[in-house]
Amino acid sequence: MYIRFALGRLDPWSGAPMGFFRVAYLLQGDERVPDWLREVLREETDWFDRHLGLPARCWRGDRARLGETGICWFRPEARKHIAHAHVLKALIEEAGVAVGRLQTRDPGDVVWHDRHQIVAKPVHTTRVAW
């Protein structure tokens, strides 16, 4: 199963639940979040910056069209990355933002991949479980 961590709100570009990395970075600059929590959020995102490559391709076709943005998923064999993602999920939730863990066997049309993740364009048959 491919794994993704996301918020309940929809990303305006993809129409899919917004990924949790974006909020993790935003919380680091939010002065309402306690200093100790911002620091551990930074440590976890720094780990991902060092150990998870940026996708070279996150969309198919004309990027400006809504619904054309690819969705990032962890590959099932990326166990260490998924373990760190669970830590990041807990930290984000400590800051008061709910994060869900999604999984699917068929994420859609894969437009990019590396050893730890894929980027897929969902299709109408993509089924995701929270």
User: DSSP code of 129?
Assistant: B
The pLDDT of residue 111 is above 80: yes
- For the cut 60, the answer to whether the pLDDT of residue 28 exceeds it is yes
The residue ranges of every structural domain in the chain are 2-121
List all residues 6 or more positions away from 94 whose beta carbon is below 8 Å from its beta carbon. 37
Tokens of 3: 């794994």
Locate tokens 């999604």: which residue?
A: 102
Cα separation, 44 vs 24, whole angstroms = 9
Residue 18 has pLDDT above 80, yes or no: yes
Is residue 106's pLDDT more than 60? yes
What is the pLDDT at residue 5?
Answer: 96
- Cβ contacts of 112 within 8 Å, gap of 6 or more: 55, 56, 57, 58, 70, 118, 119
Residues 6+ apart with CB under 8 A from 87: 44
Q: What's the pLDDT tens digit per position in 40-84?
A: 999 999 999 999 998 876 654 544 444 457 899 999 999 999 999
**pLDDT recorded at residue 35:** 98
Round the average pLDDT of the chain to a whole number and report it: 88
Residue 16 pLDDT: 77
